Amino acid sequence: MTIDDVLSSHFGFNIDIKYLGIDNPDIHTEDGLNRLITAVNDELEMIKKDPERAYHYALNVIKGRWPEGEEIMKSDPFFAYWNSVYIIKDRWFEGEEAMKKNDKIWSVYNDYFNIPMYD
């Protein structure tokens, strides 16, 4: 069993430990496995608090929607927009409130998805 297999089965999605900055864990002992899972949990909690890191994690590691990260992404106009365009690839109603706080982002978003300005 590989590290990727262990983490995917534990977390339910792909985890890239090199992306998280975790090097060469020993998964052959219970203690080593527990340290790895704790380190991944800690790092994921930090990522979930940062819209930029959450966006990049969803884009580059999950390679798709990451609901746990969307909570923080929808608080930032730029990352709400990028999540909508580059990850969801559709209008993202949950992120629109943040996007409306930046006139330029809101205008580009409306143009991109052909949304009437009164919507």
Going residue by residue through the chain, which has 119 residues, state the pLDDT in tens, using 9 for 90 and above.
566 666 666 666 666 666 666 666 666 778 877 877 888 888 889 999 999 999 998 998 889 999 999 999 999 999 999 999 999 999 999 999 999 999 999 999 999 999 986 65
**Residues in Cβ contact with 19 at an 8 Å cutoff, skipping those fewer than 6 apart:** 57, 60, 61
pLDDT in tens, 19-44: 666 666 666 778 877 877 888 888 88
